[in-house]
Structure 1
Amino acid sequence: MHRILIDKKLCTGCKSCVLACMLKHSENNNFYTLDLENIDNDSMGHIELDKNNNPTPIFCRHCEEPECVITCMSGALKKDKITGVVSYNQTKCGSCYMCVMSCPYGVLKPDERSKQNILKCDLCKNEKEPKCVENCPSGAISILKEEVYA
């Protein structure tokens, strides 16, 4: 089972995780030339301030029982029973936003350009570990990898 773990006490609000996610999902390959105002360069997670003005990472947790999958009427969201990764298939998406409304973490959102596709963390598939985890200097974001035996 692969799950993102957050320790908000360790978060400094540096946004390295957000930038790493933006870079991973853009056509760019350089932090210094990444256009932060381009609506096509968006992060799958973000940092918010809590009621005490402490930074809090908000990322898809790939929940044990994901509400987004349960409420998805089109089958665009699926949970892999072996890895635990919740994936999104935009070709099946009906853009009803039920997943957006049901996410307890407020992570899912429509893309800025078309408002038709949902921005959903894919745990940086085909990478050794997610870029948000790899680029978090304080260790506030980590990944839990448990072996699951079916």
Structure 2
Amino acid sequence: MYRIKIDRDRCIGCLTCVTACMVSHESLDARNRVTIDSEIKAAPIFCRHCDLPECTFTCMTGAMKKDDKTGFVTYDKKQCASCYMCIMACPYGVLKSDTLHHKEIMKCNMCAHRNDENKPDPMCVAKCPMQAITLEEV
């Protein structure tokens, strides 16, 4: 299983990861973001694909699921009832409504659409100029 790891000391807040996400998903909005913390330091925020994901527990239709093989939390827009319980349940505030298709949830899928192997190749990891965002096997 793989996870995105963020080294906040290396992040310069350039937003390349946000732009890479938008390009990868051909979207007007990103599935990640960079905020500024109380110490005026860049703080990248990504889906953590939690071990015990609140978004899956509150999803009444099963659109949000934890994949036991990959460890990723997946989203099936065909099953989604657009109740937004997953958005409200996420303790990290990562999930959001798609700005174009308000009936869909924007959620990191580790750029699964970009790879053919078991190892993900998220665009945010590949494009980070400071290597502040890396992929680690857990």
TM-score, length-scaled by structure 2: 0.90
Q: Write the letter of the residue equivalent to 2:14.
A: C
Residue number in structure 2 paired with 1:63: 50
Residue number in structure 1 paired with 2:123: 131
Aligned length: 133
Between the aligned partners of 2:49 and 2:36, the Cα distance in structure 1 is 22
In structure 2, runs of 5+ residues without a counterpart are none
Q: Write the letter of the residue equivalent to 2:42.
A: P
Q: Is the counterpart of residue 14 in structure 1 residue 8 in structure 2?
A: no
Q: Write the letter of the residue equivalent to 2:134.
A: S
Shift of 1:139: 1.8
Encode CA deviations 1:93-138: one digit per residue, 9 max, x unaligned: 1111111111111110001123210001110013351000111111
Q: Is the counterpart of residue 43 in structure 1 residue 35 in structure 2?
A: no
**1:82-97 correspondence runs (5 A):** 82-97=69-84
* Selected match of 2:40 from 53, 64, 72: 53
Between the aligned partners of 1:116 and 1:63, the Cα distance in structure 2 is 23
Give the 4+ runs in structure 1 shifted more than 3 A.
Answer: none
Between the aligned partners of 1:21 and 1:84, the Cα distance in structure 2 is 20
Q: Write the letter of the residue equivalent to 2:20.
A: A
Q: Write the letter of the residue equivalent to 1:49.
A: I
In structure 1, runs of 5+ residues without a counterpart are 27-39
Q: Is the counterpart of residue 100 in structure 1 residue 92 in structure 2?
A: no
Residue number in structure 2 paired with 1:23: 23
Between the aligned partners of 1:124 and 1:114, the Cα distance in structure 2 is 19
Between the aligned partners of 1:144 and 1:66, the Cα distance in structure 2 is 19
Shift of 1:41: 1.6
* Selected match of 1:119 from 97, 102, 106: 106
Encode CA deviations 1:10-51: one digit per residue, 9 max, x unaligned: 11001110111100111xxxxxxxxxxxxx421110100001
Shift of 1:144: 2.0
State percent identity of aligned pairs: 48
